[in-house]
Structure 1
Amino acid sequence: MFHPQHTVLDNVLANGEAEGYQLSRVTNVMGCLTTLDQQAWDLLLVPACLDDGSEAADIIALVRRQGYDGPIAVLSELPHATQVSQALQVGATDYLLIPFGHTHLGQLVQRIMQTNQSCDSVVAEAPQSKQLLQLAQRVAQTDASVLINGESGTGKEILARFIHNASPRAQSPFVAINCAAIPETMIESILFGHAKGAFTGASSAQPGKLEIANGGTLLLDEIAELPLALQTKLLRVLQEKEVERLGSHQKINLDIRVLAATNQNLEKAVAEGRFRADLYYRLNVFPLCCASLRDRTEDIIPLAKHLLKRHMALGQAATHFTDSAKRALKAYSWPGNVRELENIIQRALVMSHGCLIRAQDLMLPGQPLVTESEVSMPEELLAMDATSMANTTTTTMPVEHEPLNVTVDSEKASNKRPSLHKSRKLAEFNTIIETLRRFNGHRSKTAEELGVSTRALRYKLQTMREQGMDVEQILTNQSADFSANNYNFS
Structure 2
Amino acid sequence: MITKTIQFIEPDRQQAQQVIQVLEQAGYQVDYLTSGKAGLQSRQAAITLVSSSLPDMSLTEWVRYSQTVADTQQRRIAIAIVDQHEGLLAAEAMKAGATDYLLKPFEPSQLLSLLARVEALQKPMSDIVAESWRSKQILQLAHRAACTHASVLITGESGTGKEVLARYVHQQSPRSKMPFVAVNCAAIPESMLEAVLFGHVKGAFTGATGSQSGKFEEANGGTILLDEIAEMSPALQAKLLRVLQEREVERVGSHKTIKLDIRVIAATNKDLRVAVQEGVFREDLYYRLDVLPLHWPPLRERPEDILPLADYFIAKYQQGSACQLSADAQQMMMQYHWPGNIRELENIIQRALVMRHGDFVTSQDLMLPVDSSKIQAIKPEYMPAAVGSAGTE
1:190 is matched by which residue type in structure 2? V
Q: Deviations over 1:424-480 (max 9, x none)?
A: xxxxxxxxxxxxxxxxxxxxxxxxxxxxxxxxxxxxxxxxxxxxxxxxxxxxxxxxx
Alignment of 1:133-212 (within 5 A): 133-212=139-218
Confirm or deny: 8 A CA contact 1:145 1:283 kept in the other structure.
Answer: yes
2:133 is matched by which residue type in structure 1? P
**Greater RCO structure (CA 8 Å; 6+ sep):** 2
Confirm or deny: 8 A CA contact 2:160 2:343 kept in the other structure.
Answer: yes
1:352 pairs with 2:356: yes
Matches of 1:271 and 1:356, distance apart in 2 = 51
1:327 pairs with 2:331: yes
Q: Deviations over 1:301-321 (max 9, x none)?
A: 0000001111112xx111110
SS at 1:238's partner residue? helix
SS at 1:175's partner residue? strand
Offset, 1:120: 2.1
Q: Structure 2: state its 5+ residue gaps.
A: 1-122, 373-384
Pick aligned residue for 1:364 from 339, 347, 368: 368
Matches of 1:279 and 1:331, distance apart in 2 = 40
Offset, 1:172: 0.3
Pick aligned residue for 1:272 from 268, 271, 278: 278
TM-score for the superposition, normalised by structure 1: 0.51
Matches of 1:379 and 1:272, distance apart in 2 = 49
Matches of 1:324 and 1:201, distance apart in 2 = 57
1:241 is matched by which residue type in structure 2? R
SS at 1:275's partner residue? coil
SS at 1:189's partner residue? helix
2:205 is matched by which residue type in structure 1? F
Confirm or deny: 8 A CA contact 1:223 1:260 kept in the other structure.
Answer: yes
SS at 2:240's partner residue? helix
Pick aligned residue for 2:308 from 296, 302, 311: 302
SS at 2:258's partner residue? strand
1:299 is matched by which residue type in structure 2? D
1:269 is matched by which residue type in structure 2? A
RMSD: 1.9
Alignment of 1:63-462 (within 5 A): 118-313=124-319, 316-366=320-370, 379=386, 400=393
For 1:81, the equivalent position in structure 2 comes to none
Confirm or deny: 8 A CA contact 2:130 2:136 kept in the other structure.
Answer: yes
Offset, 1:197: 1.0
Q: Deviations over 1:66-89 (max 9, x none)?
A: xxxxxxxxxxxxxxxxxxxxxxxx
Q: Deviations over 1:126-180 (max 9, x none)?
A: 0000000000001101011010000000000000000000001000000000111
2:291 is matched by which residue type in structure 1? V
Offset, 1:379: 4.1
2:352 is matched by which residue type in structure 1? A
Q: Deviations over 1:176-235 (max 9, x none)?
A: 001111101100100110001111111110000111100000000000000000000000
Matches of 1:280 and 1:231, distance apart in 2 = 10
2:208 is matched by which residue type in structure 1? A
Offset, 1:249: 1.4
Confirm or deny: 8 A CA contact 2:125 2:171 kept in the other structure.
Answer: no
Offset, 1:366: 1.0
Offset, 1:119: 3.9
Confirm or deny: 8 A CA contact 1:118 1:166 kept in the other structure.
Answer: no
Matches of 1:310 and 1:262, distance apart in 2 = 27
Q: Structure 1: state its 5+ residue gaps.
A: 1-116, 369-377, 384-396, 401-490
TM-score for the superposition, normalised by structure 2: 0.64
Confirm or deny: 8 A CA contact 2:222 2:263 kept in the other structure.
Answer: yes
1:141 is matched by which residue type in structure 2? C
Number of aligned residue pairs? 259
SS at 1:176's partner residue? strand
Matches of 1:227 and 1:355, distance apart in 2 = 51
For 1:430, the equivalent position in structure 2 comes to none
Question: Larger % of strand: which?
Answer: 2
